[in-house]
Chains A and B, each alone.
Chain A
Amino acid sequence: MAKVASNHADEGRPVQSQAEAGSSSTASWILLAVGVAVATVLAISLPRLIGAAGWETGEKFLYIALVGYLGASVLYVASLAIQETRLVAGAGALTRGAFLLHTAAIAVRWVAAGHAPLSNIYEMVLMFSWGVVLFQLLGEWRLGLRYFAAVTIPVAALALILMQVLPGEIRPLVPALQSTWLQIHVTLAVLSYAGFTLSFAAALLYFVKDGTSPRTFLNWTTGLVTGIYAVVVLTSVDRGLNLLVPAWDVVEGEKIMLGPKQALMVAMPGLGWPFVIVLVLAAGTLALNLIDIFSAQSGAATLWARRFFLAALVGQVAALTMLAVRIESGPYFAPQVNQSVPVRFASSPFLLVGVVSALFISLAWEVLRWKHEAIVEYLPHRDTLDALIYRTVAVSFPLLTLMIIAGAYWANRTWGSYWSWDPKEDWALITWLTYAAYLHMRLTRGWRGRRAATMAIIGFAIVLFTFFGVTYLLPGLHAYA
């Protein structure tokens, strides 16, 4: 017995040390690349950062924090694949630095506004992303949940990207919002949403650990990318392959509206085609991958699926770059008013976030494909991840309950009714029912594993819809956020 083991070890050692040497140099390259990238971006942005304006609202602090989070995201995702302490140390340092700036942004904004930054969607995203990073850091410190960071820090980075384009000026509080209950209600909301982000991270990693193959993940990845680009193409690309974006009133800092719910649209000539191409390529990858999975002859379409995916990835980078370069260099012609009007990213925050998310997801899948086995081995046992889903829900669900109660109490103080069936309330209720169902299934039916993880992922999708979808698609009493 002992002999066999020692033989095995003898065989294994040289191979392992070779692998270590290889991953060590890869890690050095990644660290170097991220370091240079962060420094370069900051250097390029220096002219933008100089000047007093933008510091007191926290926007410039957030910009630097965003650069830090993006660098940390790359390092954390890479550290899943290559278990190198230097990568983790670098990621941790960047995250903590960015978190300090993030905290500073909240503090200066609080001082400048004279009230806690909890009164509109910009400030909610500010606090939500802060809560996500806070929970991540706490989880890392107390429970060693470092691997969550590969999901949570990119989510925080996406939130900060969204904030770069959401209107961030400080507005005075309308009378209904002048209440301690606003602070209690919104704080509980962002904390519970942040907690559910951690459940989502645990559920996603559960699927990785549980032996879901990269090919299956490719279905989901390309499905999401196809979905995002299909929405863009269907809503914003016209017959002449122009990209339609809302016009921006530079003086007022808001969209130019022609009527209620009807924004003035500007056609950016020829910018539609990169989106159409990515849509076709992503849908093609999905189709080829499905053929690959379900055809009798295994591996028939693998190569072509791979080529399509890489082409789609290049296309996404191209689409994002062209969009970024051209959107701020208007004005462009608006046929409805027969004149040229300026355009900004700020007029279409979700276009930007959708395209960036698609790119994030695609890159994450690339990493998964590259080092699938190493990642699976690195992640803790399935049962640990399953228990982590439950524990994060067990923290977030009472917070969600208290958030709804605090909201009802506040509404009753302000309007004399606890519940008005307003869309935000309804969706908070749906979120609550979803996680209540999860708890019932797990506690009384003993649901574990994939079914429970799927519910946690669906729950998070509903949280995101409650957070953003309701605000932008179904406005009601919660008009301010």
Chain B
Amino acid sequence: MGKPQSIVDRILQFFSSLKCGLILLGLVGTTVIAGTIILQRPMVREGQIEQIYAPQTIRLLDFLGLFDVFHAWWFILLLGLLGASIALASLEHFPQAWRYFSRPHRVADEWYVRNLPFLREIPLGSSQPQDALGRAAQRFASLGYRPHPESLTKRTLYVEKHRWARLAPYIVHLSLLIIFTGAIIDGTWGYRGYISLGPGMRTQQVESLASNAPPRILPFTLRCDGAGMEKYPDGSPRQYWTRLAIEENGREILRRQIFVNDPLTYGGIRFFQASFGSSGAPTKLVMEASWPGGERKPQTFTLLPGEAVKLGDPAVQVELGDFVPDFVLQGDQLSTRSNDPNNPAIRLVLTQAGGRRSSVWFFPKFPQMNFPSDLGITFQLRDVEMGYTTGLQVAKQPGKELIWGGCLLLTAGLILALYMVHIRIWGVV
């Protein structure tokens, strides 16, 4: 000692100390706790934070980055420092452990043995040293501890077990670093995104989950051949599925049905069944038309989007103009709350024989708002079948293998560290 240490040495020494490691562990822990107590922007719906916290609190927490701690630069930095600390601590202590592992002290003299913490003298019942050593070696071997041959030639005895346990803490730390590396690779070169598809649709484009990132273009085309859900008898969802096909250069490569928990992997990109629901556009409407004054019997007819139906005599052509599945009136604007046909607003276009066109809105849930059309016909909705879309999560995780490899190594290392102790016994006769 006594050598003046450079500032770099001292910083490195601090980072490799257990104290620094534990401080960093504590800081990460505290941040994580804060992240579970304070609402996190990515996890809440818009406006929820403004509803719950006072404006000053919001400004303060936003300034500190506490509304999205898990993506804050300083949290990533903290994780990086923790990784560095683990790496440095392991590097500092590793050479010593490696010496124990690679060049065990096999030949001990009497002085060395006398200074060991656990010492026992065992009479071997032989005056010949070589004979006594042979007996001892045999006894150890029968207990499952095979003496090292080199030690026996020097009239000493050395047995050991579980030498690997010396390396266990480094295996654990290395595996954590491997997992970190995998996560960094995923974060840098991987992505997560979202695709929404209706039956028969094709796409190459993956919408980003981050709000203003540009979409990704897949090197192949994804085609949806259908999607659906199965229900339990009580109506709750049992399973969602989508039939997908991959096309390259207009040629179909493969077809597969995916389920929740059972994704499709192609070209390193995985497609997960994430959601399923109404597309907001109807595929079929069943309606009833009534004429004023009961001059005709009401007529039930089926209306398909984009196809006209002829009604009555003289014939009137009816077409679907607009369909708002779940309307709300904001001022004089119609907008929809959801894609489910909970409260539809329907605009029909009527064309008379002479080519005169007119249109009429009607609201099946609010019959009092329905006005007869120019021709006096009123409409009622009997049934509607909605189109559907399936929502797919898309993930590219190039660090996946490293992460799972690290996890396996972590488990093995932990078991080695907790259940194996390097046992060494030296003997002299």
Contacts and interface: CB of A to CB of B under 8 A. Distances in A.
A437 B30 CA distance: 14
Given A172-B238, A416-B395, A444 B18 contact: yes
B67 to A, nearest CB: 13
A416 B263 contact: yes
A417 interface: yes
Contacts of A398: 411, 414-415, 418
Contacts of A437: 22, 25
A397 B414 contact: yes
Interface string B15-37: 00010011001001100110111
Given A401-B410, A401-B411, A416 B33 contact: no
Interface string A226-242: 00000000000000000
Contacts of A423: 36
A181 B262 CA distance: 12
Nearest to A416: B395
Interface stretch (B1-9, B229-237, B356-364, B372-380): B229-237
Interface residues of A, number: 43
A175 B238 contact: yes
A343 to B, nearest CB: 27
Nearest to A174: B237
Interface in B254-268: 259-263
Contacts of A176: 260-261
B347 interface: no
Given A172-B238, A401-B410, A414-B260, A433 B28 contact: yes
A446 to B, nearest CB: 12
Nearest to A413: B261
B414 A416 contact: no
Contact of B261 (A178, A397, A426, A474): A178
A291 B281 CA distance: 75
Contacts of A408: 403, 407
A470 B232 CA distance: 29
Interface string B399-429: 0100110010011001101110000000000
A418 interface: yes
Contacts of A394: 418-419
B279 interface: no
Nearest to A409: B404
Most chain B Cβ neighbours within 10 Å, of A413, A415, A416, A417: A416
A402 B259 CA distance: 25
A367 interface: no
Most chain A CB inside 10 Å of its own CB: which residue of B29, B236, B410: B29
A400 B334 CA distance: 53
A440 B22 contact: yes
Nearest to A440: B18
A110 interface: no
A426 B32 contact: yes
A405 B418 contact: no
A426 B35 contact: yes
A426 B38 CA distance: 13
B29 A430 contact: yes
Contact of A433 (B25, B261, B263, B393): B25
A270 B404 CA distance: 58
Nearest to B42: A421
A178 B239 contact: yes
Contacts of B238: 172, 175
Considering residues B25, B40, B261, B270, which has the most beta carbons from chain A within 10 angstroms of its beta carbon?
B261
A123 to B, nearest CB: 17
27 contacts: A172-B238, A175-B259, A175-B260, A176-B260, A179-B261, A397-B414, A398-B415, A401-B411, A409-B407, A412-B397, A412-B400, A413-B272, A414-B272, A416-B272, A416-B393, A416-B397, A418-B403, A421-B70, A426-B33, A426-B35, A426-B36, A429-B32, A430-B29, A434-B29, A436-B25, A440-B21, A474-B37
